[in-house]
Amino acid sequence: MVTKKERELKCLNTAIENCLSQKGDSKRIGELMSGADVERKSDERPDFIRYVAPANKNDRGIVVGIEHFMVDHLSKEKLSKKKTKYQSMGRIHQSNTLSYFNKWQEKVLNSEHIPDEAITGLCDTLSAHFNNSAYATIKTFYYSFKSALDTHMASIGEYKRAIKVEADKRNADNRLIILIEVHSAFQNLFFHHNGKVHYENTPVLLVLDEFIQLLEKADKRVDYYVLTFGDTLDTSTQTVTINAKDIRGSLKKQHIPIYHYCGADLYLPKDLAFVNDYSMEMKHEEHGEEITFQAFPTMSTMRPEYKLKFIYSALRMVYYYYAKKEPVVLDLDVERTLEILFSYIVSWRKCKDDNWSYEPVCLVAPTVDYIEKAFDAFDKRWKISEILNQDLVSLLDSYDK
């Protein structure tokens, strides 16, 4: 079982490695985090304190406090007596995957045939992950981030005092770095920036305006934020450093766009998803040395006409940010609707049957024939059928990394 300290240290080392491979402020912050560990009576609060010795006798050393926390797109709300917490389902999946790997690696490598139990275990692990992913929305991601950030901001005074004690001992300057480990499980996103669109099947780096606003409202005593983005199993990571005193300016200097999220789940309440009663059954067939996996999901889904309300309302925000020439990121449903209806929509009106949704106003209604052809053209342009078929393959491949 991996301990909390081991997870924190792994994230810190990943962040340092990523930062040192970059230039400018990111490399400098990586060097700050690379200092020597300061021995303390207690290893907590903040998680790490390190000392960077002065380069020469005319300089002062720097004591750096680093506090780590994790944010997970795959989270479930847990109610306690004192406050609402969010349980990381991604971390549970990480643990289950590692346990599976440790249990079966040697047996599989040393067997002529893969044991049935090993294949069944893999199917069960994948099925559990699919079940958790089905309920992940931008709201679970946002509230997981906000809850963790608020919790740690409440202890800033304690972090600063501990850092200052060590800095005073060495007549050194002091800095506080908040290291945020961000795990997301988004798929099939379309990034719009500077008049161009690029597609990512499993995006890792996702700097969203909603989260930047939270950092801007946080305690001003933080010096730097270091965000390490990864997928659920950490098969790919990217690290971004942010000067807490000039968050947007810092990102702009690094040419990192801040996107407005406009997926279909943008207006979903945090206790609602587009699917319900979701389950995934995994089956396999063996053909000699080749094993074929098949996924059989069952679920109840939101009525199409009701889901369309969410798609249209998110699409309206795309038009809003387009007018302001600000970057947006869309999911597959909203991107498809945008490309099909873009030339038809002239304005928006509020729906009469509720108090929140909007629908497009078109001077000429598109014909059914046009929509069907445009739908097919969109799928061919972005190779959607290939993409969706690759999603399970990509997940299976991640178990080999």
- Strands (E) in 129-194, as ranges, are 173-183, 189-193
Judged against a pLDDT cut of 80, whether residue 125 lies above it is answered with no
pLDDT of residue 43: 65
The string of pLDDT tens digits covering residues 214-247 is 999 999 999 999 999 998 767 789 999 999 999 9
Residue 287's pLDDT band (cuts 50, 70, 90): confident
pLDDT of residue 93: 60
Contact 108/118 with Cβ under 8 angstroms?
A: yes
Closest CA to 260 of 316, 199, 187: 316
Q: What is the pLDDT averaged over residues 103-118?
A: 79
pLDDT of residue 399: 47
Q: Which amino acid is at 33?
A: M
In this structure, are strands 173-183 and 62-72 parallel, antiparallel, or unpaired? Answer: parallel
Using DSSP's 3-state secondary structure scheme, residue 307 falls into helix
The string of pLDDT tens digits covering residues 74-98 is 777 776 666 677 676 666 666 777 7
Residue 388's pLDDT band (cuts 50, 70, 90): low
pLDDT of residue 396: 46
% residues pLDDT > 90 (the chain):
62
The string of pLDDT tens digits covering residues 43-74 is 678 999 999 999 898 999 999 999 999 998 87
In this structure, are strands 345-350 and 328-331 parallel, antiparallel, or unpaired? Answer: unpaired
**pLDDT top residue among 194 and 97:** 194
Q: What is the pLDDT averaged over residues 265-290?
A: 82
In this structure, are strands 328-331 and 260-261 parallel, antiparallel, or unpaired? Answer: parallel
Q: Which range among 38-42, 166-170, 245-249 shows the weakest confidence by mean pLDDT?
A: 38-42
pLDDT of residue 119: 78
Using DSSP's 3-state secondary structure scheme, residue 269 falls into coil
Q: What is the mean pLDDT of the chain?
A: 89
Judged against a pLDDT cut of 90, whether residue 368 lies above it is answered with yes
**pLDDT top residue among 273 and 162:** 162
Using DSSP's 3-state secondary structure scheme, residue 292 falls into strand
Residue 209: C-alpha distances to residues 48, 222, 287, 326, 349 (Å): 29, 19, 49, 10, 25
Contact 205/18 with Cβ under 8 angstroms?
A: no
Residue 395's pLDDT band (cuts 50, 70, 90): very low
Judged against a pLDDT cut of 80, whether residue 132 lies above it is answered with no
Contact 225/211 with Cβ under 8 angstroms?
A: no
Tokens read off for 394:
């990509």
Q: How far apart are CA 3 and CA 16, in angstroms?
A: 20
Sign of the four-CA dihedral 48, 172, 218, 237: negative
Tokens read off for 377:
């053209």
- Looking at the chain, how many residues does it have? 401
Tokens read off for 159:
């972090």
The DSSP string of 46-105 is SSEEEEE--SSTTS--EEEEEEEEEEESSEEEEE-SS-EEEEEHHHHHHHHHHHHHHHHH
pLDDT of residue 392: 47
